[in-house]
């Protein structure tokens, strides 16, 4: 970490929050200070951090599990703020850990792990979420007092956070956010695949919070105007700085749209006219692509191995007024009664293209996962191709940035199977986004890319390739 001297109060630099939405959401903290409801949301944030870093659960799984305990009593606004704080800690963990270590003179024992999480949570609010120092520090000290293992550290927490409030912004400004927050193995793979300059752009974009993208069932331009968003082409809408409940937005209850990143909306566009065609959506949950295909008249069978995720898919389709056959089965071995005209395979992957939305990936994935995932993807690809009618079309996609899970996977199946032909994608098929196509006519999106109709960069990292089975 680069550091010059610690500035005095007069010379202290002020760090702006990452974006307007975080400023808005930090207002939740401003108004509540250390009251009971504020304590509840911060306690939930700590529990979420511990679930990811200590028990290796995904952030959203951990948040969903709170509905079964006392944390579920918090209102949606408090739960959303708890997720924001936890996500900020996970996204900026390297920077925050280095900052905390600068002011904790003696390493904390293992039994005080919760104290460290309190410090990380409070530091995140101070240097990244523009929260008022007095409220953050008072709440953190109150949290220490409320737990027998943390009570004796209340003085330490108070002292460390006061120093972070005074000097933290200046220290953060001098840190290399990529080196501290992105795992070395991930940076190495991105550099190998894209070169160092672009790999750094990818990393920087991955550390930014994502906008909210929607796909409209019909009349996307009308809904973009009504929601105060930007039309991105085809059915896609972007809402920047959205901080409220999604289900409170106009059009949610009547099923006018669903949440779907712009990049994630591209694969389902590659089948052309799907009306009346039998289509299998493999690994379908949570169902955005199923909804796209069903809304265009496709006869869709949605397959996923997770019954609970399929329940969510079915609920989404019911809200949207769309129909699909839902099957709980393993896409590697599922055997339908008849082959399909088209198949969409969104294969399990490292999900490194979605770090903006799921920063827990930075902590839960490892280089060792890639080999196992590429084997699984190859098995699924081969089986999916066997389920096509002669002349049928398969679209393969992953939300991974590593080429081993995308471009190389496509090259390998074309090399080992003579019954498959690559079908190049045209810019017209993806709303004029020619810059998202590689030299093989495949889609490769990166977090630092911008849609053709929008000046602001930001989308999930996706690979999408298309195959036709020979007649």
Residue numbers annotated as active site: 399
- In angstroms, the CA 460 to CA 209 distance is 11
Helix (H, G, I), strand (E, B), or coil: what is residue 388?
strand
- String of DSSP letters for 252-311: TTTT-EEE--TGGGSGGGGG---TT-EEEEET-TT-HHHHHHHHTT-EEEEEES-HHHHH
Report the distance separating Cα 402 and Cα 351, nearest Å: 9
> What are 142's two structure tokens?
């109150």
- Asked if residues 236 and 214 have their Cβ atoms less than 8 Å apart, the reply is yes
Rounded CA-CA distance 343/280 in Å is 5
Confirm if 303 and 327 have CB atoms less than 8 A apart.
Answer: yes
Residues 6+ apart with CB under 8 A from 358: 58, 59, 60, 351
Element (H, E) at 62: helix 59-65
229 neighbors 217 (Cβ within 8 angstroms): no
d(CA 405, CA 465): 11
Structural Rg of the chain based on CA atoms: 23
| Pair type for strands 388-398 and 420-422 | unpaired
Both tokens assigned to 72:
């579920």
Q: How far apart are CA 208 and CA 329, in angstroms?
A: 35
Q: What is the largest CA-CA distance in the chain?
A: 75
Beta bridge partners of 340: 388
Residues ≥6 apart with Cβ < 8 Å to 2? 174, 175, 176
Residue with tokens 């933290």: 168
DSSP 403: G
Question: In sequence order, which residues have a C-beta less than 8 Å from that of residue 236 and are 6 or more positions away?
Answer: 213, 214, 215, 216, 220, 260, 262, 265, 431, 451
């Amino acid at each position: 970490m680069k550091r010059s001297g610690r500035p005095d109060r007069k010379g202290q630099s002020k760090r702006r929050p990452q974006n307007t939405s975080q400023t808005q959401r930090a207002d939740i903290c401003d108004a509540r200070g250390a009251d009971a409801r504020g304590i509840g949301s911060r306690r939930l944030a700590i529990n979420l951090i511990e679930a990811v870093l200590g028990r290796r659960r995904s952030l959203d799984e951990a948040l969903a599990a709170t509905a079964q305990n006392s944390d579920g009593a918090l209102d949606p606004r408090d739960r959303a703020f708890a997720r924001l704080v936890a996500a900020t800690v996970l996204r900026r963990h390297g920077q925050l850990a280095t900052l905390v270590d600068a002011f904790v003179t003696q390493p904390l024992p293992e039994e005080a792990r919760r104290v460290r999480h309190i410090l990380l949570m409070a530091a995140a609010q101070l240097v990244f979420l523009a929260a008022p120092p007095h409220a953050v520090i008072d709440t953190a000290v109150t949290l220490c007092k409320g737990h027998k293992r943390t009570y004796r550290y209340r003085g330490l927490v108070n002292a460390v956070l006061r120093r972070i409030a005074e000097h933290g912004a200046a220290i953060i400004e001098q840190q290399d956010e990529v080196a501290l927050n992105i795992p070395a193995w991930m940076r190495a793979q991105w550099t190998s695949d894209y070169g160092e300059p672009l790999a750094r752009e990818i990393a920087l974009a991955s550390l930014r919070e994502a906008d909210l993208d929607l796909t409209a069932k019909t009349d996307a331009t009308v809904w973009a105007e009504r929601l105060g968003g930007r039309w991105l082409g085809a059915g896609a809408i972007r809402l920047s700085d959205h901080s409220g409940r999604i289900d409170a937005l106009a059009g949610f209850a009547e099923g006018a749209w669903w949440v779907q990143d712009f990049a994630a909306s591209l694969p389902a566009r590659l089948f052309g006219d799907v009306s009346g065609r039998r289509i299998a959506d493999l690994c379908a949950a949570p169902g955005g692509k199923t909804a796209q295909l069903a809304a265009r008249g496709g006869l869709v069978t949605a397959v996923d191995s997770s019954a609970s995720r399929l329940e969510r898919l079915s609920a989404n389709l019911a809200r949207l007024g769309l129909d699909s056959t839902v099957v709980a089965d393993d896409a590697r071995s599922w055997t339908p009664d008849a082959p399909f005209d088209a198949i969409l395979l969104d294969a399990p992957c490292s999900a490194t293209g979605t770090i903006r939305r799921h920063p827990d990936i930075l902590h839960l994935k490892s280089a060792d996962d890639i080999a196992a995932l590429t084997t699984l993807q190859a098995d699924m690809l081969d089986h999916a191709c066997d389920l096509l009618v002669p002349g049928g079309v398969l679209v393969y996609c992953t939300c991974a940035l590593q080429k081993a899970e995308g471009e190389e996977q496509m090259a390998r199946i074309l090399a080992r199977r003579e019954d498959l032909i690559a079908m190049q994608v045209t810019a017209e098929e993806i709303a004029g986004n020619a810059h998202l196509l590689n030299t093989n006519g495949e889609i490769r999106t990166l977090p630092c890319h911008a849609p053709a109709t929008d000046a602001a960069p930001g989308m999930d990292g996706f690979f999408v390739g298309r195959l036709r089975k020979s007649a």
